[in-house]
Amino acid sequence: MRIAFLVAPEGVEQVELTQPWRAVTEAGHTPRLVSTDSGRIQAFNHLDKADTFPVDQLVDDASVKEYGALVLPGGVANPDLLRTNEQAVAFVKSFFDAGKPVAAICHAPWTLIEADVLRGRTLTSWPSLRTDIRNAGGSWVDEQVKVCDGGPGTLITSRNPDDLKAFCEAFTAEFAKTGGQ
């Protein structure tokens, strides 16, 4: 199954991209880096520049039909930039409309808020998003990983890089249930 990793041209937290990417690969899936600009994206280790990664596909050219699931890595700047891009927000929303699983960590729920897909869902995130999630109609919990089946598609969320092992285990298990659908 092909898995889309949606990231902005800069600002993604590197470990929140690379560890889930590795988990997807080890589970036998094919990860693809989707972004709002072509070329390479700039990852960060918190506030310091880290590695760059090649973009596989522009979000403008991507379709939910090509992918079985979506991963939204965090970093503060990454989801903040994504939520201002209409095509990125529409791409995220299309996974919920299609009932496909979405995994989001740390600050990534900012993009989910903009896509208006959190009403009635319970999720976790970086603690500073708590009020934003509640204002968007979601319920926030302080848990390592939260799997929410309320509404179309499954949403798997996690708080921060310290939760990556549990996050990767949870979303790969959920992705396996879909069988690429």
Assess whether 29 carries a catalytic annotation: no
Of the residues 100, 107, 146, 159, only one is catalytic, namely 107
Burial annotation 98-110 (CB, 10 A radius, 16+ → b, else e):
bebbbbbbbbbbb
Taking CA 69 as the corner, what is the angle to CA 67 and CA 74, rounded to the nearest 5 degrees?
A: 120
Q: Do the beta carbons of residue 122 and residue 109 sit within 8 Å? A: no
> Smallest Cα–Cα separation from 111: which of 64, 150, 67, 78?
78
Positions marked catalytic: 107
